[in-house]
Structure 1
Amino acid sequence: MPIKIPDALPAREVLENENVFVIGETKALHQDIRPLKILILNLMPLKIATETHLLRSLSNSPLQIEVDFLMTSSHVSKNTPREHLFSFYKVFSEVQSDKYDGMIITGAPVELLEFEEVNYWEELTEIMEWSKHNVTSTFHICWGAQAGLYYHHGIKKYKLDKKMFGVFKHTVNNIHEPLMRGFNDIFHAPHSRYTEVKLAEIEANKNLSLLSASDEAGVYIVMSKDRRQIFVTGHSEYDAQTLNEEYKRDKAKGLDMAIPKNYFPDNDPSSEPMVLWRSHASLLYSNWLNYYVYQATPFQLDQIQ
């Protein structure tokens, strides 16, 4: 089944060229089924790339999905054309009275700031509070996961000695949780962050469950005990070149950047990267949509509480 997106969204051409099943708004109007409504709060600076990453990850499902993109009104992205934002994005006041089956809150390049120093923190906390009663399940990514853990559960973030950057091995900590269904005992996922949350603090919190971790990258997937909040500290949605683009960007800025680990064959940046996480990403998002959104959401959206 397809993902329903605006007819003119730039990601559409990319996804169709990859044989991803998408459907434009015009054609979707003639289908008599209820799609899942997913809201994506996109806090990443390169919003068009992030749109494509997330839509690709959501596409491997038999469910029809209707996506709304949300941006903050207290901070306007400088890296995405304004006409794109005005064409495809809403602000919170436009969706505040709506309800959604699922929501994704992305990462953002503000890790080294204290949460309260982020200029849209107050707006973000309002949205996160709203999500508790207006969204069946919310999926938080990277800094978005740290922000959600801090706001909802009081979990602090800590600065790392160096950037956690590369593709790392992870293990499944709870094989019985449906989100982890079908996962290998060891799987890979990308990380790109300067901060972390502590394993001991997650395990000590009675309202949280640790689902996956890495010996090297630390906490990876955490879920609230009511299963309505999922926190993923890495970037399973990244495509093959994303870490490479980040590496080249930071090197061009003169930053002392290490080569992303376990990414280039023989650690040679002139080689094409190895994609070790694609199947994991597909499974993670399809499990979330199936078990935590589709099977948990009421048919009538206004019944979400």
Structure 2
Amino acid sequence: MTTAPLKVGILNLMHDKVDTQRRFRHVLTRSARPVEITFLYPQTHYLSRPVPNLVKRISQPLELNQINQYDAFIITGAPIERLPFNKITYIDELHRLIDQLVKLNIPQLYICWGAMAAANYLYDIEKHQLPRKLFGVYPNHILNSSRLLTGLPDGFLAPHARYAELDYRQISAHPELILEATTVDGQLFSFRARNRQQYFLFSHLEYGRNALLKEYHREKNAHPNWDYAKPQNYFLDPIHMRAPQFKWQPAQQIFFDNWLHIVAQNKNTKYKVLVKE
């Protein structure tokens, strides 16, 4: 008997859309469990200009009346964490998407800026700017164990790349949220909703070996005269920025395997309920 694939929708908000799709396909299709991925884009992001041909070729417009077809949904990061939420052209569409995901009880994984936007909308958690970009590979400490972190040792390595952060105190004090892991300096790795299928991940665990280096060069090429932070704890030769190390590969595989397992269990539970009804 062939197992039906898990259908995962991904709202791709990243700058490097082709690389982002390649990365998510890699981390979500390595296991024996079949996964069918659909990449989408927010339609309101292109109201004042044509949708780029590349975007139309590799992804589909977000249709909120079709969200019920997915077994799980991911909202990616976006290089806009320094902008206020109300300045984002597609923020209302994003909120309507989140409402649909909550209404339909579809497991949600929010990543980096996606996690900031969702937590702000759902739980009023405030965003603030960091004094300098958090950029590099850092050990992360588990504060509260969870199914998502099962198999990860305390101090596991993961890549971080962001200019903003959510309010740690608000998250810790919120009765509906559970803080799971942070860096040694208290920067967020992940937290989850207590009674919903919602996970908020602040590390770009989907990144491959060269992704941090590519991100640095993209920013540097955009503004050659600006002083950009270099990724820390990443290169074998940090002085010359050579030989990037893929230190987070074990955490990457464990985390996404755990998430897919949770999604599959949720799908099976829904199916059993439907059969009983």
User: Please, what TM-score do these two structures have when normalized by structure 2?
Assistant: 0.90
The one-letter code matched in structure 2 to 1:70 is: L
Matching residue of 1:173:
143
The separation in 2 between residues aligned to 1:97 and 1:67, in whole angstroms, is 13
Do the aligned partners of residues 201 and 154 (structure 1) sit closer, same or farther apart at CA in structure 2, a change above 3 Å counting? same
Residue 43 in 1 paired to residue 4 in 2? Answer: no
Residue among 105, 108, 127 paired with 1:138: 108
Do the aligned partners of residues 286 and 189 (structure 1) sit closer, same or farther apart at CA in structure 2, a change above 3 Å counting? same
- Asked if the contact 1:168–1:188 (Cα under 8 Å) also holds between the matched residues in 2, the reply is yes
Residue 111 in 1 paired to residue 111 in 2? Answer: no
Residue 75 in 1 paired to residue 45 in 2? Answer: yes
Q: CA deviation at 1:156?
A: 0.7
The separation in 2 between residues aligned to 1:129 and 1:302, in whole angstroms, is 23
- Asked if the contact 2:116–2:127 (Cα under 8 Å) also holds between the matched residues in 1, the reply is yes
The separation in 2 between residues aligned to 1:119 and 1:301, in whole angstroms, is 40
Do the aligned partners of residues 90 and 98 (structure 1) sit closer, same or farther apart at CA in structure 2, a change above 3 Å counting? farther
Q: CA deviation at 1:94?
A: 6.5
The one-letter code matched in structure 2 to 1:196 is: E
The separation in 2 between residues aligned to 1:182 and 1:125, in whole angstroms, is 33
Q: CA deviation at 1:267?
A: 1.8
Matching residue of 2:91:
121
- Asked if the contact 2:64–2:97 (Cα under 8 Å) also holds between the matched residues in 1, the reply is no
- Asked if the contact 1:191–1:217 (Cα under 8 Å) also holds between the matched residues in 2, the reply is no
* Paired residues for 1:1-305 under 5 Å: 32-76=2-46, 82-93=52-63, 95-96=65-66, 98-175=68-145, 177-216=146-185, 218-252=187-221, 253=223, 254-291=225-262, 293-297=263-267, 298=269, 300=271
- Asked if the contact 2:237–2:243 (Cα under 8 Å) also holds between the matched residues in 1, the reply is no
- Asked if the contact 1:42–1:69 (Cα under 8 Å) also holds between the matched residues in 2, the reply is yes
The separation in 1 between residues aligned to 2:105 and 2:272, in whole angstroms, is 9
SS in 1 for 2:78: coil
- Asked if the contact 1:101–1:301 (Cα under 8 Å) also holds between the matched residues in 2, the reply is no
**Unaligned runs of at least 5 residues, structure 1:** 1-30
- Asked if the contact 1:142–1:232 (Cα under 8 Å) also holds between the matched residues in 2, the reply is yes
- Tell me the percent identity: 32
The one-letter code matched in structure 1 to 2:226 is: L
**What CA deviation, in whole Å up to 9, does each residue of 1:186-227 have, x standing for no partner?**
111111111011221111000001111112361111100024
Q: CA deviation at 1:302?
A: 11
**What CA deviation, in whole Å up to 9, does each residue of 1:24-53 have, x standing for no partner?**
xxxxxxx95311110001011211100011
- Asked if the contact 1:174–1:180 (Cα under 8 Å) also holds between the matched residues in 2, the reply is no
Aligned residues: 268
Q: CA deviation at 1:116?
A: 1.1
The separation in 1 between residues aligned to 2:69 and 2:116, in whole angstroms, is 24
SS in 1 for 2:199: strand
